[in-house]
């Protein structure tokens, strides 16, 4: 049963505690990465057979396989994918930015260019866990497509029969993915980071995964860019006494069913609501297909925190800095400016977090583990880089050379000073 805790009567360490029950896989991941670097495709096939229990001949999804998968997807679900994709495109299109140029000083031109990454890799958990995350494909690939990336490569583990979930492949087609590889785990990350005979090296790796994927992304960072080191999923609900406890329980369980390490938290100023939600969670758990996972999450990491008032509840939410934050209030927009730290905020009593997972348009790849204090949701910005440029006329450079030289001399860099003034004729070459 989920715990009820009263803020001020429990130690802060208990109120703000997060799940840390993850095994250290760093050594195993390092060995996998080294093997993929040394052996390429041979190592990939070996690891796929070992970890995903599939013996692969071809590592890349062929056009025929893609067409066969598309034929298995119902027109109704394809329509859902297309409507969700349209919403995601519309939202992320607002994030597109162009460079700029400045010419305020005579003879000086400076500017910034925004350049799409040439090739990106997207990790998508497969259907082996029973959750073929087609939504993850849309959320990661559509911003990359809008950014103008030259090639979008996707890795996702195959089923034991060597196929990929039709839902995942259909989402890949809707989202504009260029190539799909039947790979998962640390070996997939290693292949994207270093390249093999079949898998091209990418410039950035994005997307979620388990402990092996997270650790592999950490270890290859620097060789390639990454989006974030994602931890277990989190939801925090702030609610007053007016909310229906059935709705709040359902919203909390929607994240608890992700992972045994997921965290579902309710912060309320109503002790009566806290007890009602506690009872409702117990009533709803048996109806979940993933009851065992959700129950472990609720019992190990879930909590209901009773705060003195709504102001205190929002302060607690900011301190926790959750991945998903629901403001289940009549006037949520009145409190939106008070929220400083959250990955994505869901406003009102009619906006469950699941709406953001699939259809609303904002990204569902969000900072976890309190990193919302300094990190942002995945966006078009994750798929571009910036480059700057500078131009001086001869006259403008001569006018500024003395200031540059003085700066350089203070720093003890006489070579810099010489480089600045040598063009002015003040010293001999």
Residues marked active site are found at 323-324
DSSP 161: T
Give the integer Cα–Cα distance in Å for 371 and 230.
Answer: 9
- Kindly report each contact of residues 405-408 with a partner whose C-beta sits within 8 Å and lies 24 or more positions away, as own/partner: none
Which residues, at least 6 apart from 93, have a Cβ–Cβ distance to it below 8 Å?
A: 146
Distance, CA of 227 to CA of 398 (rounded, Å):
43
- Tell me whether residue 425 is exposed, middle or buried, using C-beta atoms within 10 angstroms of its C-beta: 0 to 12, 13 to 18, 19 or more: exposed
Q: How far apart are CA 392 and CA 107, in angstroms?
A: 6
What is the DSSP-derived secondary structure letter of residue 312? H
What tokens appear for 233 in the block?
A: 């999923």
Number of H helices, E strands in the chain: 17, 14
Q: Give the integer Cα–Cα distance in Å for 147 and 338.
A: 32
Of residues 212, 189, 208, the one with CA closest to residue 25? 212
Q: In what order do the strands lie in the sheet with 151-155?
A: 179-181, 151-155, 119-123, 204-206, 225-226
């Amino acid at each position: 049963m989920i715990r009820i805790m009263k803020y001020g009567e429990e130690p802060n360490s208990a109120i703000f505690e997060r799940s840390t029950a993850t095994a250290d896989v760093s050594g195993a991941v390092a060995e996998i990465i080294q093997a993929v670097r040394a052996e390429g495709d041979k190592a990939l096939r070996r690891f796929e057979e070992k970890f995903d229990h599939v013996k692969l001949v071809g590592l890349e999804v062929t056009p025929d396989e893609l067409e066969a998968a598309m034929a298995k997807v119902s027109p109704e679900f394809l329509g859902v994918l297309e409507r969700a994709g349209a919403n995601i495109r519309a939202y992320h299109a607002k994030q597109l930015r162009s460079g700029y140029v400045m010419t305020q000083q005579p003879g000086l031109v400076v500017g910034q260019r925004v350049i799409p990454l040439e090739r990106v890799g997207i990790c998508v958990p497969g259907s082996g866990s029973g959750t073929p995350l087609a939504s993850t494909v849309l959320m990661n690939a559509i911003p990359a497509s809008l950014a103008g990336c030259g090639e979008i490569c996707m890795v996702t583990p195959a089923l034991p029969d060597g196929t990929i979930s039709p839902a995942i492949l259909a989402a890949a087609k809707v989202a504009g993915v260029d190539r799909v590889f039947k790979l998962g785990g640390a070996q997939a990350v290693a292949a994207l980071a270093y390249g093999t005979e079949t898998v091209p090296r990418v410039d950035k790796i994005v997307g979620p995964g388990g402990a092996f994927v997270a650790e592999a992304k950490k270890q290859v960072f620097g060789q390639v860019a990454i989006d974030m080191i994602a931890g277990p999923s989190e939801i925090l609900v702030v609610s007053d006494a007016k909310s229906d406890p059935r709705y709040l329980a359902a919203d909390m369980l929607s994240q608890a069913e992700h992972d045994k390490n997921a965290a579902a938290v309710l912060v309320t100023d109503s002790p009566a609501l806290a007890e009602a939600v506690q009872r409702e969670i117990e009533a709803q758990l048996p109806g979940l297909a993933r009851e065992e996972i959700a129950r472990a999450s609720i019992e190990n990491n879930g909590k209901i925190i009773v705060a003195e008032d709504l102001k205190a509840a929002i302060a607690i939410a900011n301190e926790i800095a959750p991945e998903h934050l629901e403001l289940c209030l009549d006037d949520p927009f009145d409190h939106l400016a008070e929220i400083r730290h959250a990955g994505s905020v869901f406003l009102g009593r009619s906006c469950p977090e699941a709406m953001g997972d699939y259809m609303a348009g904002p990204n569902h790849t969000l900072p976890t583990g309190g990193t919302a204090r300094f990190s942002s949701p995945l966006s078009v910005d994750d798929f571009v880089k910036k480059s700057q440029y500078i131009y001086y006329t001869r006259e403008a450079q001569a006018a500024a050379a003395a200031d540059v030289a003085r700066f350089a001399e203070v720093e003890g860099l006489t070579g810099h000073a010489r480089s600045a003034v040598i063009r002015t004729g003040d010293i001999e070459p």
